[in-house]
Chains A and B, each alone.
Chain A
């Protein structure tokens, strides 16, 4: 159904018109003993709709040029202007925190890489083994001090938007759309197979598929990990209990880096998916509204 989004509105109209017609026919033929909405009748209805749709789509069919047009027109006249399927997917709080977080995360990663450049190792200072040489062009701040200024400024935005996001999700109940739960486990593999191995597309059950839920829930966990490990690195003595929890100051630095690697794994996949799913999907993170969502509900 989603192959031709522009026609969907029209299809809906025709579908409902067709069902009405079918109902009337049934009543006329005296099939009243059978409820109108019973399942045996439905395949016929669908077939009829599909047949009609094909005619609507193929305008070059000369046999019955007037039929499709007139039926569409009459529905329009009878029920007012055409209606569009749409969903208000992203509340304002989610959109604001998404973009504040996107900016903060960009600054935190690029400045963080610059900070890491000052001592690109997890071993001892003597002898220093350089783990990887990060190109300067990927970093922000110009030098260690500048990068720290960016890091120490945007950590507050990152933390504030993250905490606000989590509180909003909890208290609004909106988390149900995105939280990965044990029930989603079985749906992960079919979705991954569809995306990466050209497998069949599993039916869309809700706003997010199980793989999306897994990805988004993981980013929240990564955010919490980077925030907590960041606190330890910033004030290891004041947060000594937290340092102990992460296995000491030295290990915490590795955790902090690992959290960034997690984000670096998520971001390209996220951006590719956004690019593949088109404008209406991207625009919904700006306006909240998604036109013609691919899921039914």
Chain B
């Protein structure tokens, strides 16, 4: 719609409309690293909160037939330090701590005595690649029943033989597809994939699925700056899928 107006009037109107955009100039503050660091930290925190709200505790991740599974040789070994931290498999036990009725040391045989779940699921790395693998293990919530874990607590914290550490929200830990995994492709977990026990959760990104488990702890409080090896450097804590 073309209108005809005085030059002065046009300038006045333009100026007034221009000023209404002034708040956007304030966004320029984010070009300062101090401000932007804070912003993106809050952004990830908000995203993690939203991701927690979105999570449907009974909604299953897609499972695949055996023909969709990649050959074992094409399932990548991903590790943060060494592929084999030299776990003494004969003497290994899982230490259980925190808000549980039966804390203590648990052997692999005790874990394997619980019902075994085998699932072909997609393993997605934060880098962008994904593989469909075959995993077997104990459903985490079954093991929680055995140790008398307080499932009203907020977090499952784990530490690993190679000093890696992770923490998982309780809802994701109790998901029916979340496993303490001791088998891949029907064989005992090999050292590179986290022998003797690792987390395997198709509802989480790869870096959440800690290998070479050493200790698990049920807790309501996470130590700030100790929420996860990669998370402490800036990865999303929720890391859900």
Residues of A within 8 A of B (CB): 9, 12, 80-88, 92, 95-96, 99-100, 103, 115-116, 118-119, 121, 124-126, 128, 144-146, 148-150, 152-156, 234-238, 240, 249-250, 253, 283, 286-289, 291, 293, 295-297
Contacts and interface: CB of A to CB of B under 8 A. Distances in A.
Contacts of A287: 13-15, 17-18
Contact of A235 (B39, B70, B130, B240): B240
A229 to B, nearest CB: 13
Nearest to A116: B128
B44 A152 contact: yes
B113 interface: no
Contacts of A128: 129
Interface residues of B, number: 57
Interface string B1-40: 1111111101001110110110010010000000000011
Given A116-B128, A119-B129, A237 B43 contact: no
A249 B202 CA distance: 13
A83 B5 contact: yes
Contacts of A288: 14, 17
Contacts of B240: 235, 237-238
9 contacts: A85-B4, A115-B128, A119-B128, A125-B130, A235-B51, A237-B62, A289-B13, A296-B2, A297-B1
A155 B40 CA distance: 11
Nearest to B73: A126
A297 B131 contact: no
Contacts of A81: 6-8
B131 to A, nearest CB: 6
Contacts of A95: 17, 21
Interface stretch (B53-61, B85-93, B137-145, B217-225): B53-61
Contacts of A82: 6-7
Contacts of B20: 92
Contacts of B105: none
Contacts of A92: 17, 20-21
Contacts of B75: 126
Given A85-B2, A286-B18, A288-B14, A148 B130 contact: no
A118 B127 contact: yes
A236 B124 contact: yes
A87 B4 CA distance: 8
Interface string B102-116: 000000000000000
B189 to A, nearest CB: 19
B18 to A, nearest CB: 4
B27 A238 contact: no
Interface string B63-87: 0000000100111100000000000
Contact of B40 (A80, A150, A235): A150
B54 A235 contact: yes
B129 A125 contact: yes
B151 interface: no
A88 B55 CA distance: 45
Given A99-B21, A126-B74, A249-B130, A86 B10 contact: yes
A9 B6 CA distance: 10
B150 interface: no
Given A95-B21, A116-B128, A289-B17, 11 more contacts: A83-B5, A85-B2, A119-B125, A119-B128, A125-B125, A149-B44, A153-B42, A153-B47, A238-B240, A288-B17, A297-B2
Interface stretch (B159-167, B192-200, B208-216, B230-238): B230-238
B39 A237 contact: no
A236 B129 CA distance: 13
Given A145-B230, A289-B14, A291-B10, A152 B62 contact: no
Given A125-B129, A148-B126, A289-B13, A99 B5 contact: no
A236 B241 contact: yes
Which of A115, A156, A287, A296 has the most chain B CB within a 10 Å cutoff?
A287
A81 B9 CA distance: 11
B190 interface: no
Given A144-B127, A149-B41, A237 B2 contact: no
B207 to A, nearest CB: 10
B6 to A, nearest CB: 5
Nearest to A291: B10
Contact of B1 (A88, A119, A283, A291): A88
Contacts of A238: 54-56, 59, 240-241
Given A149-B41, A250-B130, A86 B3 contact: yes
A9 B18 CA distance: 24
A83 B6 CA distance: 5
A148 B127 CA distance: 10
